[in-house]
Structure 1
Amino acid sequence: MTSFWGLFTQIAAIIFPVLGVIVCGYVYGRLRPNEAPQQMGAINPLVMEFFTPMMIFGAMSQKSFDIYANGALMLAGLWVILGSVACGYVAAKIFNIQVRTLVPTMIYNNCGNMGLPLALLAFGAAGFAQAAILFVMCNLLYFSLGVWLLSGRRLSWRLFNTPIIWSIVLGLTMALLRLPVPEPVQQLLNFFTQAAITLMMFALGVRLLDIDWRQMKIGLLGGVLCPAGSLLFAYIAQQFGWFDLTQQQMAQIYLFASLPPAVSCFMMADYYQQEPSKVAAIVLIGNVLSLVFVPFGLALALV
C-alpha cells in the first residue's frame, strides 16, 4: 500500500502543474467566452512562429541532448508512432472514416505542450532533452507523412519553410557537430522554453471549450486509439527487447506513448479543410482522456 501511495503522490506531483495551467486556461475561457478565443487567436501565431522554435532549439542545444546516444530511443519512438498509425488505418477502414481525417492524428501526439513539461517534472533536465528528441522526430514525421496525407498526397515545399522546421534543422546541425551554446544564450533559451510551455498549455485549456459533442463518437475513437495503440506497441517493444533501451529511455517511451493527439492536428486539418470539426473532437476529447492515459503511462514509466 505504501509503494502504491508513493507512486500515486509522485504521479500527482508531476501532473498537477500541467493540469493546473490547463484548468486556468479553461476557467479563463469560461469567464471570457467572447474575448478568450480572439486573444488566443492572436497569441497562437506568436507561440508557433517564435516561442516554439526557440523552445525546440533550446532543448536541442542542451549538453544532455545527445543524438548519438539516443538513436535507439528515436527508433523506438518511430515504432510506437507507426504502430498507432497502423491502428488508425485499420479503424478508419472498419468504421468508414476518411483515412486523411483519422490517421494524421495518430502521428502527432501532444509531445510538445504536454509531453515536454511532464518529462521535465518526471525525469529532470536529462529527461527533458530525451523528450525533445522524440518531439523533433514526431515533428519531422508529421510534417512529411502527415502533411502528405492531409494534402491529398501532395507536398508543397513551402510547408518546410517554417520557423519550427528551421529550428529543428539548426538544432540537429549543432547536435551532430557537437557545437556548444554559450551559457548566457542557454539561459535565454530556457526563459523562452518556460514561456512557450505555459502559453501552449493555457491555450489548450481555452480550446477545451470548443468540443463539439455531436462528434463524440469519432472523438472517443481517436482519443482512445492514439494512446492505447501507442502503449500497446511500446509494451510489445519492451517485451521483445527490440531496441535495447535503458530503463529511463523505456520510461520516456511509455510517457510518450500515453499522450493524446496534438492541438496542431486541428490547426493543420483546418488549413487543409479536412473535416476540421471531427479532428477537433478527436484532439479535444483525447486531451480530456489524457487524465486517464497519462497517469497510466507514468505509472508504467515509474514502476
Structure 2
Amino acid sequence: MTILLTVLNVSAPVFLLAAIGFAWVKLGFDYPLDFVTRTAMTVSLPCLIFVALMETEIEPEALTTVSLAAVAAYAAVTVVMLAVVRLGDLSMRTYLAPLIFGNTGNLGLPLALFAFGDEGLGYAVVIFGIMAVYSFTIGVWMVSGGGSLTKVLKEPLVAGTVLGALFLWQGWRTPVFLTNTLDLLGQMAIPLMLLTLGVAIARLTPGRLGLASALAAVKMAVCIAIGWLMGWAFGLPDIAFAVLVIQIATPIAVTSYLLAQKYGADAEAVAGLVVASTLLSVVVLPVLLALVM
C-alpha cells in the first residue's frame, strides 16, 4: 500500500496538470500554444537543464555511463522500430520517428524529478538532451529528408545541455544572483510543459486509432524491454537505471505530430499515435514506477 501511495503521489501531479491543460481548451479558453511552447523551449527548459547539470552532485563518470546507455538504447529502439515499420508495410516518413522518440521532456523530466529528486532530474536531462539532438537531426531527416547539424547547434536546449555538462565537468559555478535567476526561469518549464501537453492533445484530431493503439502498445513494450536491458548491461545504479527505463518508455511526443504536419507526412495518423500512447502511459507508467522505485 505504501508503494502504491508513493507512485500515486509521483504520477498524479503529472497527469493532473496535463488534464488541466486539456480541460482549459475544452472549456473554450484561449491558450497561445506557439508562444508558450517557444517560451518553454527557448528560455525556461534550457535554464532548467543548465542549472540541473551545473548543480548536480552526480559523479561525471556516472553521467557518462548513463549517456552511453541512452545512446545504446535509442540505437536498439531504432533498429527494432525500423523492422516493425518494414514488416507492417507502413510509411517510414509517418511512423518511424514517432515510434522511436518519446516524450522525455513534458513527461519524463517531471516524473524523474517527482520520483527521484534532483539526482533523478540530473540523469533525466542528460537522456533528454541525447534524445533532442537525435530528434533534431536524424529524426527530422526521417520525416523530411532535411535534418541539419547546424540547426541543432542553434537550439537553446542543446546549448543549455552542452554548457551545463561543461560547467559540471570543470566544477564551475555561475554567480549566485545569476544562478537564482536561471533557477527561477527553469522552474516554469515543468508546469508549462505539462499544461501544454494537455492543450496539444485536446486540439489533436486523431485518426486510425485501432492501428495507433496496437503500435503504441508495441512501442511501450519494446522500449521498456530495451531500457531495462541497457540499464542492466551498463550496470547503472538504482536511480540511474530507473530514470533510463522511464525516459525510454515515455509515450510519443506531440512534437512528432507537429513535425509530420510541417513536412507533409500523415499528421492525422501521428495524432492517433500520440493520443493512444499517452492514454496507455496513464496506466503503464505508474506501474513501471512501482517496479523501479
Give yes or no for TM over 0.5.
Answer: yes
Distance 1:158 1:78 in 2: 20
User: How far has the Cα of 1:118 moved from its partner?
Assistant: 1.0
Distance 1:173 1:97 in 2: 41
- Choose which of 248, 261, 264 in structure 2 pairs with 1:273: 264
String of CA shifts for 1:191-222, please: whole Å, max 9, x gaps: 22221111111011112223434321342234
Q: What's 1:13 paired with? A: 9
Q: What's 2:221 paired with? A: 228
Distance 1:282 1:167 in 2: 30
Would you say how many aligned residue pairs link Structure 1 and Structure 2?
A: 293
Distance 1:144 1:45 in 2: 19
The 3 A distance-change label for structure 1 pair 15 and 97 is same
Distance 2:133 2:97 in 1: 13
- Choose which of 20, 26, 29 in structure 2 pairs with 1:30: 26
Secondary structure class of the residue paired with 1:69? helix
Which residue type is aligned with residue 108 of structure 2? G
Is 1:82 equivalent to 2:75 in the alignment?
A: yes
- The runs of 5 or more residues in structure 1 that have no matched partner are none
Distance 1:185 1:108 in 2: 33
- Conserved in 2, the CA contact under 8 Å of 1:109 and 1:259? yes
- The runs of 5 or more residues in structure 2 that have no matched partner are none
Is 1:114 equivalent to 2:107 in the alignment?
A: yes
TM-score for the superposition, normalised by structure 1: 0.88
Q: What's 2:247 paired with? A: 256
Distance 1:122 1:138 in 2: 21
Moved over 4 A (4+): none
Secondary structure class of the residue paired with 2:167? helix
Q: What's 1:292 paired with? A: 283
- Conserved in 2, the CA contact under 8 Å of 1:221 and 1:282? no
User: How far has the Cα of 1:177 moved from its partner?
Assistant: 2.6
Is 1:124 equivalent to 2:90 in the alignment?
A: no
TM-score for the superposition, normalised by structure 2: 0.91
- Conserved in 2, the CA contact under 8 Å of 1:40 and 1:203? yes
Distance 2:245 2:85 in 1: 25
Backbone CA RMSD of aligned residues: 2.1
User: How far has the Cα of 1:62 moved from its partner?
Assistant: 1.7
Distance 2:241 2:178 in 1: 31
Which residue type is aligned with residue 256 of structure 1? Q
Q: What's 2:94 paired with? A: 101
User: How far has the Cα of 1:65 moved from its partner?
Assistant: 5.2
- Conserved in 2, the CA contact under 8 Å of 1:101 and 1:150? yes
- Conserved in 2, the CA contact under 8 Å of 1:148 and 1:154? yes
Q: What's 1:140 paired with? A: 133
- Conserved in 1, the CA contact under 8 Å of 2:207 and 2:271? no
Q: What's 1:201 paired with? A: 194
- Choose which of 29, 37, 56 in structure 2 pairs with 1:44: 37
- Conserved in 2, the CA contact under 8 Å of 1:81 and 1:106? no
Secondary structure class of the residue paired with 1:61? helix
- Conserved in 2, the CA contact under 8 Å of 1:107 and 1:142? no
String of CA shifts for 1:67-112, please: whole Å, max 9, x gaps: 4322221222223222322232122112221122222123321111
- Conserved in 1, the CA contact under 8 Å of 2:253 and 2:274? yes
Which residue type is aligned with residue 135 of structure 1? F
